[in-house]
């Protein structure tokens, strides 16, 4: 089954192959959990939503159109479940993606910052600090802006896939992402200024 496509696995699961869903879960466990942890800022909440996501996959498997790709559908379910979790439990200027962030001339671009990942022990301290700051800025964004950044920059879904995942028009995806980029840029600049002020 390791060589099967995601869609073939789901089709096999609908046909009675119980191991096919286990293979899908195995394939997406790390990626989906990472997405949900970033979205929810809590590993425990992410684990709960991860389980709810695959319960929904089980319940809705027969309705999935196997001529489409499974990954966007899976992330659609995960994003919806994460939004449901937020509703139940509560939560606390135009910028080009390739434009520099801030006025200090260090050449950092928004898209470079969004590619920052969780730091590993062998990363230099400066990279770990930058990753921590990026996570903090993303986590503080409103949920609807955070989710579109996560889907676009971390999961690298296309505009059309995001539109499907969030059940919003394509134009709304573009305008919301534009807003999210600008909000991130403002928050990033403020966070950097605060951090530099604390260091002086």
User: Do 84 and 114 share a domain, yes or no?
Assistant: no
pLDDT of 111 strictly over 60: no
169 or 135, which is more confident: 169
Q: What is the pLDDT of residues 29-64, one digit of tens each?
A: 998 988 888 788 788 888 999 999 999 999 999 999
The lowest-confidence range among 31-40, 114-123, 139-148, 158-167 is 114-123
pLDDT at 20: 92
Selection from 168, 62, 179 nearest residue 187 by Cα: 179
- Judge residue 41's burial from the number of C-beta atoms within 10 Å of its C-beta, 0-12 exposed, 13-18 middle, 19 or more buried: middle
Domain count, the chain: 2
Domain that holds residue 157: 110-199
**Mean residue pLDDT across the chain:** 78
Tokens 């809590």, residue located? 42
Instruction: Decide if 131 contacts 119 (C-beta within 8 A).
Output: yes
pLDDT at 164: 79
User: Do 56 and 116 share a domain, yes or no?
Assistant: no
Task: Look at residue 102 and tell me if it is in a domain.
Answer: no
User: Do 19 and 79 share a domain, yes or no?
Assistant: yes
Selection from 90, 84, 88, 92 nearest residue 36 by Cα: 84
Task: Look at residue 72 and tell me if it is in a domain.
Answer: yes
Task: Look at residue 95 and tell me if it is in a domain.
Answer: no
pLDDT at 179: 92
Confidence of residue 96 (pLDDT cuts 50, 70, 90): very low
User: Do 188 and 151 share a domain, yes or no?
Assistant: yes
Question: Coil, strand, or helix at residue 109?
Answer: strand
Selection from 52, 53, 61 nearest residue 10 by Cα: 61
pLDDT at 15: 92
pLDDT of 101 strictly over 50: no
Mean pLDDT of 100-128: 47
Task: Look at residue 103 and tell me if it is in a domain.
Answer: no
Task: Look at residue 48 and tell me if it is in a domain.
Answer: yes
User: Do 157 and 189 share a domain, yes or no?
Assistant: yes
């Amino acid at each position: 089954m390791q060589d099967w496509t995601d869609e073939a696995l789901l089709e096999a699961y609908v046909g009675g192959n119980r191991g096919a869903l286990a293979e899908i879960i195995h394939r997406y466990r790390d990626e989906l959990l990472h997405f949900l942890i970033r979205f929810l800022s809590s590993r425990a909440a992410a684990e709960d939503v991860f389980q709810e996501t695959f319960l929904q996959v089980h319940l809705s498997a027969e309705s999935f159109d196997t001529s489409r790709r499974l990954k966007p559908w899976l992330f659609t379910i995960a994003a919806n479940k994460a939004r449901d979790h937020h509703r139940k439990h509560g939560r606390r200027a135009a910028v080009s993606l390739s434009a520099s962030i801030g006025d200090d001339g260090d050449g950092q671009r928004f898209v470079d910052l969004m590619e920052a990942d969780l730091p590993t022990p062998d990363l230099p301290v400066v990279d770990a600090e930058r990753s921590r700051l990026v996570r903090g800025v993303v986590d503080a964004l409103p949920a609807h802006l955070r989710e579109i950044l996560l889907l676009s920059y971390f999961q690298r879904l296309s505009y059309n896939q995001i539109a499907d995942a969030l059940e919003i028009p394509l134009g709304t995806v573009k305008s919301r992402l534009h807003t999210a980029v600008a909000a991130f840029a403002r928050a990033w600049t403020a966070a950097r200024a605060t951090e530099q002020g604390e260091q002086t």
